[in-house]
Amino acid sequence: MASACEIDERAPPRRQQLSDRWHGHLSRVVEAEIIPRLMLAHRMEASTRGPGPRKPTAEDIEAFASLVLAPAGEVVEARIAALVDDGLALDSLLLDLLAPTARHLGVLWEEDLCDFAELTIAMGRLQRIMHDLSRRYGGETGGHRDGHSILLSLCPGETHMFGLSMIEQFFRDAGWDVTSTALAPVGEILNQARTAWFDVIGLSLGCEVLLPTLTKTVLELRRVSFNPGVRILVGGPIFIDNPGHIEQVGADATASDARRAVAAAEFMLDMRAGAC
């Protein structure tokens, strides 16, 4: 079935033929880097930044993309190990290296500098790298430290998965109890919200055409939620260019990356506790 986010009809035939798979797996893959632009960013910026080793440069990202596209994976492992030895934190590896690498791979495909098969293999490799990094270097979460819970899902009709996987890992590492419905139909998402307590529900959207669907989904989630005071966190590239969409869909907040998504969720709960 075709994705709801369609490529422009004026696009070259090669891209038209691959539109469904591109949007299903690769299109704007990390621009839906999960839940973009935090409404409360100015109040939270100081708490989410700190000193550390230099971030990967544009040249580093291009070089890493070439490694991911290459047949041998051992060189990729060696590069990751070197960055870890240099003191680059896990969150920076994910947000400052893997996410921009995914975007760069998409540009290479759009400019016909790699073919679709190469891109698909490279994106699968990035996904495996992300999970491997989290397992090896993420450390133990220490259980659900604060008792916070979140339900994560794509907007019904949305299929961009890379970012949602990353945000799930960040919430787990922060000690949250995470339930991810990923590509579940809307009925399953609503049933989860109806039958279990969630402090926050996070929904990811990658294209404007599904805004009415997201608006309806948020309304239904609030109506059926077992937690009458549930907070809704939404995001995707359209919220970066159009912050007014946050209020339009009935959400509470959004964030520019996975790290700030966790901070936004915790801030909303702190504000709720302070109001009690």
- Under-50 pLDDT residues of the chain: 1-3, 6-51, 141-142
Domains defined for the chain, CATH in brackets: 149-275 (3.40.50.280)
**What pLDDT shows up at residue 258?**
83
Q: What is the pLDDT of residue 145?
A: 53
Q: How many CA atoms lie within 13 A of 65 on its CB side?
A: 24
What is the residue type of 267? F
Q: Can you give the pTM of this predicted structure?
A: 0.66
Compute CA distances 204 → 28, 78, 207, 211, 251, whole Å. 12, 33, 10, 11, 12
Distance CA 18, CA 248 (A): 32
Position 82 scores a pLDDT of 83
Q: What is the pLDDT of residue 52?
A: 56
Residue type, 170: F
The pLDDT value recorded for residue 146 is 61
**pLDDT at 197 (0 to 100):** 96
What is residue 221's predicted lDDT score, i.e. its pLDDT?
97
Q: What is the pLDDT of residues 69-90, one digit of tens each?
A: 887 666 888 888 888 788 888 7
